[in-house]
A and B are shown apart, each in its own frame.
Chain A
Amino acid sequence: MAIGRKIWPVQGDPLRRNPSRAAKPRPAEPGFERWMWYFTRISGLLLVLLAMGHMGIMHVLVQLTGQQINFAFVLERWGNPFWRGYDLLLLVLALLHGVNGARIIIGDYVERGGLRSLLVGILLALTFVWLLLGIFVILTFNPDGAPAIGPFS
């Protein structure tokens, strides 16, 4: 196929080059950005297993075995501490991995300054609230079947 440009060999300083060309080169200086670079890759590796397992169960296995996702289904699933821990880990890793990616994307399109700080600030505030909500729902879910809180309980 004759489309595109020549992509190999990689040009430039080997320390600053970006082998995978899908994300960012590893930050040259140690610090927060480098930690997040590693976090993205390590959490990504775990998320391939966790998220694909989750989708495989909830969307493929449930379909193949003719089940339906309802309160009783969740009751049985979260009655098992393993699946509750699985979902908790998936929630935290997926949200942090995704939000860090969104932060990087904002940084690519918005110049350093007030607007970028505002957007990243809104993103982090939303993440904080949603993370607490997600953790709260998983941890306070009552395996005895009695509704935990709310006007319809």
Chain B
Amino acid sequence: MFRYRISWSQLAWLGHRLSGIGVLVYLFMHIVENATLAFGPGVYDTTQTFFRNLPVRLGEIVLMAALVYHSLNGLRVIVMDFWPATTAWYRPVTYAVIIGTIVAMIPLGLIMITPYAPWNGR
């Protein structure tokens, strides 16, 4: 089982697929959730209160991370597909995408977790 070592390039590819599927599944749910708008303010506002809790917010942070990674890696894919010479920097750019996602998620995650954070008087 541990003989096979996954490379960073495989991980980047797998991450792109998983984040893409995750965002697509969320999009289908998001369309259903937004359809409650058609039933007026009562139904929509009641529905929204079901989503104001920590588990949902953690899910939204995961969604944000998936989108940031998919965006950065997607930009890398576009650049390398149209300018194949840039694949000379495949490995450092892939590392930069992974590190960039983590670095971007530090402030984004802190902002998004604020209402549920201990330093916010909870």
Contact = CB atoms under 8 A, between A and B. Distances in A.
Label chain B's interface by main secondary structure: helix
Nearest to A149: B38
B53 interface: no
B71 A147 contact: no
B95 to A, nearest CB: 9
B58 interface: no
Contacts of A69: 48
Interface in A9-53: 10, 14, 17, 19-23, 26, 41, 44-45, 47-48, 51-52
Interface residues of A, number: 58
B119 interface: no
Interface string B83-122: 0101110110000000000000000100110110000000
A5 B90 contact: no
Interface in A66-94: 68-72, 74, 91, 94
Given A22-B77, A70-B41, 19 more contacts: A3-B6, A4-B7, A4-B10, A7-B7, A8-B91, A20-B78, A20-B79, A41-B81, A45-B75, A59-B60, A63-B111, A95-B27, A98-B27, A101-B24, A102-B20, A134-B34, A140-B38, A149-B39, A152-B39
